[in-house]
Structure 1
């Protein structure tokens, strides 16, 4: 049962910053066709399984958003989003750093679980809206 432990920062509704352990299974123990993300949030055990890391991260983010918690990782940045091809290849752990009006290139790829502090971390809806605007800008 191989997994990677990653420290992930969370910003709570009251502004408190905590660092939590995220377990990343690129092959879920019970189904190797899926990835699995697990986090213990103060005794609340969160677990999300999906076909890609990005989709599992979105599920985790949705759960955190309902608790008014913002996760600080590249996969939650306003201008980071995977291409459909990136999602279908591998485990969907890489996504593009997007700039309006510019095609995304291989050198623009980032690990969604890393944290570049100069990014703006946003809700899932804000990120999806930016992605749609970006798609229109490169048309």
Structure 2
């Protein structure tokens, strides 16, 4: 199980949280500074992170996986268990591969459906 620290903003206060993820079982656990621990199991780690963000929608997760324009391809999900995804820009076919728990503080969302919608808009922007 891989263990790493991320930053979150909870009640206007920046704090650390610990993420543990197991790609083999597609399980993600988070332990907040308060000691609260939650575990999620989905098809991949990215979807686990989406469930986590949905449950704690009042917390801002400062991670690439929370960025509106980050979403894994089917191949990236399969090869990395959802730990890496693509960061895209409308009209630009050169997507950048990123780790979803790398630090980010811009254009964040807790709604995975917004990310799915953005991904569809991005794909449509590439069609001629």
Considering fraction of residues, name the structure with more strand: 2
TM-score tier (shorter): 0.7 to 0.9
DSSP 3-state at the match of 2:56: helix
CA distance in 2, matches of 1:97, 1:122: 14
Query: Hey, what does 2:116 align to over in structure 1?
Result: 128
Are residues 4 and 44 of structure 1, via their aligned partners in 2, closer, same or farther at CA, if it must alter by over 3 Å?
Answer: closer
Of structures 1 and 2, the one with the larger relative CO (CA 8 A, separation 6+) is 2
Unaligned runs of 5+ residues in structure 1 are: none
Which consecutive segments of 4 or more residues in structure 1 shift more than 3 A?
none
Contact 1:20 1:39 in 2 (8 A): no
Unaligned runs of 5+ residues in structure 2 are: none
CA RMSD of aligned residues (A): 2.0
Q: CA deviation at 1:75?
A: 0.3
TM normalised by structure 1 equals: 0.77
Q: CA deviation at 1:8?
A: 2.2
TM normalised by structure 2 equals: 0.83
Q: CA deviation at 1:123?
A: 3.1
